Chains A and B, each alone.
Chain A
Amino acid sequence: MEITIVTDNLTKTFGAFTAVDHISFEVQKGEIFGFLGANGAGKTTAIRILCGLLHPTSGKAEVAGFDVFKHTEKIKKNIGYMSQKFSLYEDLTIRENISFYSTVYGLSDYQIKEKTEQLLTRLQLHSEADKLVHSLPLGWKQKLAFSLALIHDPKIVFLDEPTGGVDPITRRQFWDLIYETADEGTTVFVTTHYMDEAEYCDRISIMVDGKIEALDTPDILKSQFKAATMDEVFYKLARGTSTK
């Protein structure tokens, strides 16, 4: 099986504070990997390192085959990223947003034309293509943002709380998109505070105070922690750190 993310004792300190404390894990191609933890556990710091945005202090990590110390620019070209605050330009049209992101990722004019058509067809947005993103319903913005994070066919897509504040139907439709993407062979690295969504991941890691305290499939974690739901697993693990 092809490994797309590997970390070995990856560590990041800020002064005396260790935000990420010797974390080691591997993520496979096409896997949906849930990255959970309480607020302040170190998730954001770890994701920033894996996206090539922050230099680690020690340890090793490779993302899409590139070293997080040396080849951060190559990492950025090979990953997609989407956060809860959709990074769309609200005062550009849908077509302009597609064109902008394609250009940033260095696609050729021909590719841009092709991608625009594909994307508008897949999202059924042809009739809306020349409207401002501002006017789109939230669920559509989310789908568009996700598609744009994938516009350069990255090997891995990082989703940082992609479904925060989204209604229950749209949230589930979004997971249908995640499944499709993973089935096509893209690795999905996702954080969420919805514990039902943790169940949808192939494997889950739970960070506590900078360390990965649990890592396995939802079923195995539940039996390991003698818990009926992922919510309970999370609660048992994170309880000690709730003063943060």
Chain B
Amino acid sequence: MNSIEINNISKSFGSKKALQTINLNVEAGEVFGLIGADGAGKSTLFDILVTLSKSDSGTARIEGLDVEKDYKKIRKIVGYMPGRFSLYMDLTVYENLDFFASIFGGTIEDNYELIKDIWVQIEPFKDRPAGKLSGGMKQKLALCCALVHQPRVLFLDEPTTGVDPVSRNEFWNMLKNLKRKGITILVSTPYMDEAILCERIALMQEGKIMAIDTPSNITKAFNKPLFSVKSTHQRKLINTLRRFDQAYSCYFFGQSVHLAAKNESVSAKEISDYLNENGHPEIQVAKISAGIEDCFIELMRKTA
């Protein structure tokens, strides 16, 4: 059964097409990721799904309920963590949580089981004003507040943006625990490395979905031979590689350059020889499988 169904949703702001015929289904209990940069349309889509804004055309259903006709019912069963920190800065951590529990007509105690694992991490700071928390703690409080009415579907808009790698990792572990409790989770992120933590993903760019699939199927679809190339001087290396007649694309990936070759026949040795001729020392070339970021770049090139 689908928990979220999106059919041909489009939305423009003036001449800017924020969403262009989006089609997407998320299964019940699935952790689904919307992966894309700022301006891809992720937040606009979230706003429509949580009934805060209307699409220009198309329909969407959450747990079978229509986002326009049944918006009141939808608001009771979804939890939403907006991209911008939206809690009350001058209320304490505890007061914020208590407030969100009470506006949904419940208490913290009634719903404690679901938030317990996350709450214990911020409980030592429960009397601190929310505005005085660090980024990672704010994020945990916002998640508690989005969960305190036991939603069936959770919408998390860039929960890890601007958060350091350690806190990001902890956050994803929390999501795994929530999934075990049967909650459907739609989460957006600009970090490509988080894509593999989702069961399925949609890669978005400029209001369009470029691909929807499991992370492993998306990476398998990369159809050019890909090499990781290292040498001592990365900047000279990439410039030399860009001139290689078999080079389809070259991009920095941390300590190496990823070179996609035009033809299947290109070998690591051929690249290594070419670099040798051009005077690069300590060359390492290895054939590798594409990651999500390689695929995202390739899809952007194709659609541009």
Contacts and interface: CB of A to CB of B under 8 A. Distances in A.
A170 B38 CA distance: 11
B165 A234 contact: yes
A193 B254 contact: no
Q: How large is the interface on B (under 10, 10 to 19, 20 to 34, 35 or more residues)?
A: 35 or more
Nearest to A239: B166
B162 A168 contact: no
Interface stretch (B44-52, B272-280, B293-301): B293-301
Contact of B255 (A169, A193, A218): A218
B205 A167 contact: yes
Nearest to B160: A193
Interface stretch (A37-45, A62-70, A122-130): A37-45
A230 B193 CA distance: 14
Given A169-B297, A195-B254, A38 B162 contact: no
B129 interface: no
B289 interface: no
A121 interface: no
Interface in A132-146: 137-138
A242 B166 contact: yes
Contact of A196 (B162, B163, B254): B254
Nearest to B139: A39
Contact of A40 (B36, B135, B301): B135
Contacts of A197: 254
Given A138-B39, A170-B37, A193 B252 contact: no
Contacts of B134: 39-40, 244
A214 interface: no
Interface string A216-244: 00100000000001110011001101111
Given A193-B162, A238-B166, A165 B190 contact: yes
B162 A238 contact: no
A101 interface: no
A196 B253 CA distance: 6
B89 interface: no
Nearest to A236: B166
Contact of B136 (A196, A230, A242): A242
A141 B36 CA distance: 18
Contacts of B165: 193, 195, 231, 234-235, 238
Interface string A5-43: 000000000000000000000000000000001111100
A164 B255 CA distance: 20
A179 B235 contact: yes
B121 interface: yes
Given A39-B136, A242-B166, A167 B235 contact: no
Contacts of A196: 252-254
A161 interface: yes
Interface in B234-253: 234-235, 251-253
Given A167-B37, A170-B37, A242 B190 contact: no
Contacts of A235: 165-166, 169
Interface of B: 36-40, 121, 134-137, 158, 161-167, 169-170, 190-192, 205, 234-235, 251-255, 293, 296-297, 300-301
Interface of A: 37-41, 84, 137-138, 161, 164-170, 172, 175, 179, 193-200, 218, 229-231, 234-235, 238-239, 241-244
26 contacts: A38-B164, A38-B166, A38-B167, A39-B162, A39-B164, A40-B136, A41-B164, A84-B162, A164-B162, A165-B158, A166-B37, A167-B36, A167-B37, A169-B251, A169-B297, A170-B37, A193-B163, A196-B253, A197-B254, A199-B255, A200-B234, A234-B165, A235-B166, A238-B166, A242-B166, A242-B170
